[in-house]
């Protein structure tokens, strides 16, 4: 019940295309859903995050869509660029008193072809 | 402002040895969390420290331990190393334990156990 399932494992998109990564969870106590971006040799960096009281959040080319009833959320990268090539992780946590404990998905390796 | 600093960057040990990894959080950050990243298991939460006290712990054996000093710097120790402990160990810091506090990750320590 603590798992977060992420798909696809890898994704290849042409420059200018839309990249879509999906995550699903079981624990209804989760109330904070961040996405992290990780480049080789670096630690993950927070990209965008959402709470379940909203269905969508957009920051620049990055959008999170959240479906509370389906217990699913997804990351959309619009106008994908080669510089977006990285590994993306979704995560979830119970925010109350558990700031440091994130449950991560398995990651999606995104390659954006020029 | 300097980011999260982890030392050493790379480490090679043999089975049965012990190892200590160090983490210096961003100046002013008081919460430090540790994660283990492997290709098979992904990112897994080890523990979180705040005000020199362990506040949260993941599902790892007692061979994994940590501590936090009064200046918020943290160390983690792994005793009696096993081959399966080979991983990237990531430290993350945040200002406090407030809800949805943004976590900043270091670049990690790559541990290889031979």
Computed over every residue of chain B, the mean pLDDT equals 93
pLDDT of B99 higher than 60: no
CA distance A27 to chain B (A): 17
Q: How long is chain B?
A: 114
CA distance A95 to chain B (A): 5
**A78 touches B: beta carbon within 8 Å:** no
Q: Are A102 and A34 spatial neighbours (Cβ–Cβ below 8 Å)?
A: yes
Facing residue for A43 by CB, picked from B58, B96, B107: B107
Q: Are A13 and A112 spatial neighbours (Cβ–Cβ below 8 Å)?
A: yes
Facing residue for A95 by CB, picked from B33, B47, B100: B100
Of residues B73, B62, B56, B71, the one with CA closest to residue B21: B73
**B103 touches A: beta carbon within 8 Å:** yes
What confidence tens digit (pLDDT) does each residue in A48-72 have? Answer: 999 989 999 999 999 999 999 999 9
Q: Are B36 and B89 spatial neighbours (Cβ–Cβ below 8 Å)?
A: yes
**A51 touches B: beta carbon within 8 Å:** yes
**Quick one: what percent of chain B has pLDDT higher than 90?**
84
What confidence tens digit (pLDDT) does each residue in A65-113 have? Answer: 999 999 999 999 999 999 999 999 999 988 776 556 889 999 999 999 9
Q: What is the pLDDT of residue B32?
A: 94
Q: Which carries the bigger pLDDT value, residue A70 or residue B97?
A: A70
Q: Do B105 and A89 touch (CB under 8 A)?
A: no
Of residues B47, B26, B25, B23, the one with CA closest to residue B35: B47
Q: What is the pLDDT of residue B2?
A: 82
Q: Do B105 and A43 touch (CB under 8 A)?
A: yes
Strands (E), A8-101: 10-14, 19-25, 33-38, 45-50, 56-59, 62-67, 72-77, 86-92
How far apart CA A30 and CA A12 sit, in angstroms, is 30
How far apart CA B4 and CA B6 sit, in angstroms, is 7
Task: List the end-to-end C-alpha distance of chain A, in Å, as a whole number.
Answer: 39
Residue B39, phi then psi, degrees to nearest 5: -60, -35
What confidence tens digit (pLDDT) does each residue in B8-59 have? Answer: 999 999 999 999 999 999 999 999 999 999 998 899 999 999 989 998 899 9
Q: What is the pLDDT of residue B77?
A: 98
What confidence tens digit (pLDDT) does each residue in A8-61 have? Answer: 999 999 999 999 999 999 999 898 899 999 999 999 999 999 998 999 999 999
Q: Do A100 and B99 touch (CB under 8 A)?
A: no
Token readout for B22 is 């160090």
> What is the Cα A112 distance to its own chain's centre?
17
**A99 touches B: beta carbon within 8 Å:** yes
**Quick one: what percent of chain B has pLDDT higher than 70?**
95
How far apart CA A101 and CA B97 sit, in angstroms, is 11
């Amino acid at each position: 019940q603590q798992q977060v399932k992420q798909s696809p494992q890898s994704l290849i998109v042409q420059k200018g295309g839309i990249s879509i990564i999906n995550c699903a969870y079981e624990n209804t106590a989760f109330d904070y859903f961040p996405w992290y971006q990780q480049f080789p040799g670096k630690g993950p960096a927070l990209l965008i995050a959402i709470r379940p009281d909203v269905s969508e959040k957009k920051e620049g080319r990055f959008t999170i869509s959240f479906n509370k009833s389906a217990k699913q959320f997804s990351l959309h990268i619009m106008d994908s660029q080669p510089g977006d090539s990285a590994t993306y992780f979704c995560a979830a946590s119970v925010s109350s008193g558990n700031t440091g404990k994130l449950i991560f998905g398995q990651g999606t390796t995104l390659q954006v072809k020029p | 402002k300097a980011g999260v600093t982890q030392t050493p960057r790379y480490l090679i040990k043999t089975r049965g040895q012990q190892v200590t990894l160090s983490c210096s959080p961003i100046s002013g950050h008081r919460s430090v969390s540790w994660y283990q990243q492997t290709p098979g298991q992904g990112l897994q939460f080890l523990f979180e420290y705040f005000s020199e006290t362990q506040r949260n712990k993941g599902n790892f054996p007692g061979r994994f331990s940590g501590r936090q000093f009064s200046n918020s710097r943290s160390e983690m120790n792994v005793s009696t190393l096993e081959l399966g402990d080979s991983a990237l160990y990531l430290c993350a810091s945040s200002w406090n334990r407030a809800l949805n506090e943004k976590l900043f990750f270091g670049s990690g320590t790559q541990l290889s156990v031979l």
